[in-house]
Amino acid sequence: MRRRILTTTALLAGSALLLSACAPSAASGDGAEEGDQVTLKVWSWRTEDVEAYNTIFDVFEEQHPNITVEFEAFQNTEYNQILTTGLAGSDGPDVPMVRAYGQLQPNIEAGQLEPIDGKVDGLDEIAPSVIAGAKGKADGKTYAVPLATQTLQMFYNKAIFDEHGLEVPNTWDEFIEVNEKLLAAGVTPMALGAKDDWILPIFADIIGSARYGGSEFEEKVLAGETDFTDPDYVASLELVTQVQKYLTPDVVGVSYTDSQIQFTSGQAAQFPGGSFEIATFRNQAPDLEFGSYQVPLPDGAVLDAPVSPAYADGNFAVNTKSTHQDEAFELLNWLATPEFGQLVADELNQFSAIPGVEYEDEVMKEAWANYEDGQAPYLLLVDFRYGEPLGTAVLGAEVQKMFLGQTDAAAAAASLQAGISQWFTPGE
């Protein structure tokens, strides 16, 4: 018995040796440069983009013949756990896709990611609110290269607007008029899935960011010069109640997916949402003609031009335990180039975080041009997801209560302030 085990082990060991001996010689046969062939493992939660990423990394592999990129995608909802386990163990990814802002901090605090300042070129070209999504809150170091930017705006159905003789509104009065006309014509003016709380802070920012002052307010609130009980912030939340009549009755019973169907099937004329909807709308309704605009300035707005709130979505980092640090940084440097940015736009239909990218898609082009004209941070996600309770979660539930008539704007703002002040100290 023992003898047989020994023989088997010997055979296995022998074949393993043979195989490993074969690998490099096969690679060099392809005309690779001198030195070892290195395989970098890249992990992501974008299971829907595997093919696109393989195309993208083919471009990289052509330029870097000694590196092979192995792209693996995992279920989005389970990714955080899989990544945490992978980074803790020895066979994790070399270059993992990581979350942004507050959700990135546990990996940084656990020392699982390499700081990249000074090792990756082009980081200073990236918008500050976007690169902030890749920084450690405690030490201020940059740990990743941002992948995409999501912009928030109002989408509208062009056919419905034409049918009712409506134009994209330029003033708040025009905005109200558009909604009134649609309401009178029996079309739901805006589709919103208020049953899913996460969409509501997005809605509040699309409607009210310019009212409370976008980045100006961000600076003040971070410095402690004001807080969320500020009259301007409360007024921005009041706008949410003010436009409630343009949403489906019983809006709190409507789920996010229902609201997407409302818009793509032409039952609703407008959809307040993120740029991530563009690809979904294209898939669900290829014939749908739609565009987007920034909600015009309401009375008393702090800003003097409308804005698109935005945030960074996804980053690429380097695993501290990776045994191929040099190659991993080579890849990361490439991920920070406009070449990769353009591939993100063309292959993934996303807004790249890297400036200087051209968008083919008309809707994307329009939304990006709007964003470049007036930028703002999606405040609660960008700055207030670093502790518990998350700013977005508190406001989501509070807006639901506002829609249900259980609370008002002032009380909702006070709850938001109470929640975040539990972990947030201004000026830190």
| Smallest separation (angstroms) from another protein to the CB of 265 | 10
The residue written with tokens 């010689």 in the block is: 25
By beta-carbon proximity to another protein, the closer residue of 206 and 402 is 402
| DSSP code per residue over 36-99 | --EEEEEEES-GGGHHHHHHHHHHHHHH-TTEEEEEEE--HHHHHHHHHHHHHSSS--SEEEE-
| Smallest separation (angstroms) from another protein to the CB of 328 | 20
By beta-carbon proximity to another protein, the closer residue of 209 and 264 is 264
The Cα 85–Cα 45 span in angstroms is: 14
By beta-carbon proximity to another protein, the closer residue of 146 and 213 is 146
The Cα 74–Cα 76 span in angstroms is: 6
By beta-carbon proximity to another protein, the closer residue of 175 and 203 is 203
By beta-carbon proximity to another protein, the closer residue of 13 and 88 is 88
Chain residues that interact with another protein, rule: CB under 8 A? 77, 80-81, 84-85, 88, 99, 102-103, 105-107, 109-112, 194-198, 248-255, 258, 261-262, 267, 385, 387-390, 393-394, 396-398, 400-401, 404, 406, 418-419, 422
| Smallest separation (angstroms) from another protein to the CB of 353 | 20
By beta-carbon proximity to another protein, the closer residue of 194 and 379 is 194
User: If DSSP codes are grouped into helix, strand and coil, which group holds residue 221?
Assistant: helix
Range 246-249, long-range pairs (CB < 8 A, 24+ positions): 246/179, 246/182, 246/183, 246/189, 246/190, 247/188, 247/189, 247/190, 247/191, 247/192, 247/194, 247/403, 248/188, 248/191, 248/192
Cβ atoms of residues 308 and 72 within 8 Å = no
By beta-carbon proximity to another protein, the closer residue of 251 and 348 is 251
| Smallest separation (angstroms) from another protein to the CB of 341 | 27
Give the contacts of 178 (CB within 8 A, at least 6 positions apart).
166, 167, 169, 189
| Smallest separation (angstroms) from another protein to the CB of 114 | 15
| Smallest separation (angstroms) from another protein to the CB of 28 | 40
| Smallest separation (angstroms) from another protein to the CB of 167 | 28
Cis preceding-peptide flag for 96 (omega within 30 of 0): no
